[in-house]
Amino acid sequence: MQIFETKITVTSDDIDNLNHVNNVRYVQWVEDVAKSHWFTKAPSSITDHYLWIMLSHHITYKKPAFLQDEITLKTYVPSSEGVTCTRVVEILNNDILLAKSETTWCFMDSNRMRPTRITDEVKNIFL
């Protein structure tokens, strides 16, 4: 199972009235890193015809992040079956887990906007 990783710096737009990163921002980061992983690893012959839709999302918050923190987003796909896959995202600051999400995504044919079976070619992108 391949791990995809990216880094971001917390900006003032990420901060809420409690002076730490707003919970909604974590959800946005989960979507952003999933999208980045997909478009970085999948060839356009696939991304031009398929997309992913978030079906369910569970996130556990452990510690807050603050302005100017250097955050690492790590993601991997531990399982896929039929038309869905499970994606995990770990959000870290200096290897300290801030939040962890588990999201179920549905693989879609972008022309028909219908769920479609995840092919071995697509599964291999995440192995």
State pLDDT tens for residues 22-75: 999 999 999 999 999 999 999 999 999 999 999 999 999 999 999 999 999 999
The answer to whether residues 30 and 89 touch, using CB atoms and an 8 Å cutoff, is yes
C-alpha 10/C-alpha 83 separation (Å) is 34
Farthest-apart Cα atoms in the chain, separation: 46
Which of these, 68, 127, 57, lies nearest to 99 by C-alpha position? Answer: 57
pLDDT of residue 127: 79
pLDDT tens, residue by residue, 66-121: 999 999 999 999 999 999 999 999 999 999 999 999 999 999 999 999 999 999 99
Which of these, 68, 95, 79, 84, lies nearest to 14 by C-alpha position? Answer: 68
pLDDT of residue 87: 98
Report the percentage of the chain scoring pLDDT > 70: 100
pTM given for the model: 0.93
